[in-house]
Amino acid sequence: MSRNRRYFLQRSGQCLVGAPFVLPAAAFFRNAYGESINPDRLKGRVVLARDAGYDAFAKNPAGLLERGMAALLETERGEDAWRRLFRREDVVAVKVNALAGPRLSPGWPLVQAVVKGLKSAGVPAGQIIVWDRSSRELQRLGYPVNTSGDGVKIFGTDALRQGYEETISRAGSVGSCFSRIIAQYATAVINVGVLKDHDLAGISVLLKNFFGAIHNPNKYHDQNCSPYVAHVNSHPTIRHKVRLNIVDAPVAQYHGGPAFNGGYDWTFGGLILAADAVAADRVALELIHGQRQRAGLRTLRQEDRYPAYIDVAGEMGLGEAKLTAIRQIEV
CA distance 210 to 230: 10
Mean of all residue pLDDT scores within the chain: 90
Tens digits of residue pLDDT in 251-283? 999 999 999 888 999 999 999 999 999 999 999
Average pLDDT of 176-189? 96
Beta strands in 118-187 (DSSP E): 128-132, 153-156, 169-171, 174-176
Q: Over 60: is that where the pLDDT of 102 sits? A: yes
Average pLDDT of 129-156? 94
Average pLDDT of 141-169? 93
pLDDT at position 7 is 43
Which residues, other chains included, contact 4 with Cβ-Cβ below 8 Å and sequence gap of 6+?
A: 16, 18, 19, 20, 21, 184, 185
CB of 69 closer than 8 Å to CB of 125: no
CB of 329 closer than 8 Å to CB of 46: yes
Q: How do the domains of the chain map onto residue ranges?
A: 42-330
pLDDT at position 17 is 29
**Res. 13 pLDDT band, cuts 50 70 90:** very low
**Res. 177 pLDDT band, cuts 50 70 90:** very high
Lowest mean pLDDT segment, chosen from 7-11, 79-83, 204-208, 281-285: 7-11
Average pLDDT of 281-291? 98
Average pLDDT of 26-41? 69
pLDDT at position 5 is 54
Q: What is the DSSP letter of 38?
A: -
Higher pLDDT, 52 or 121: 121
**Res. 57 pLDDT band, cuts 50 70 90:** low
Q: Over 80: is that where the pLDDT of 317 sits? A: yes
pLDDT at position 316 is 96
Model confidence, pTM: 0.91
Average pLDDT of 153-159? 97
Task: Return the CATH class of domain 42-330.
Answer: alpha beta
Lowest mean pLDDT segment, chosen from 40-44, 180-184, 247-251: 40-44
Q: What is the DSSP letter of 183?
A: I
- Give phi and psi for 81, each to the nearest 5: -65, -45
Q: Is 288 helix (H, G, I), strand (E, B) or coil?
A: helix
CB of 12 closer than 8 Å to CB of 162: no
Q: What percent of the chain has pLDDT over 70?
A: 89
Average pLDDT of 282-294? 98
Q: Over 50: is that where the pLDDT of 15 sits? A: no
pLDDT at position 249 is 94
CA distance 157 to 178: 10
124, HSE (Cβ side, Cα atoms, 13 Å)? 8
CA distance 150 to 10: 8
Q: Over 70: is that where the pLDDT of 65 sits? A: yes
Residue 280 parent element (H or E): helix 277-294
Average pLDDT of 43-62? 84
291, HSE (Cβ side, Cα atoms, 13 Å)? 21
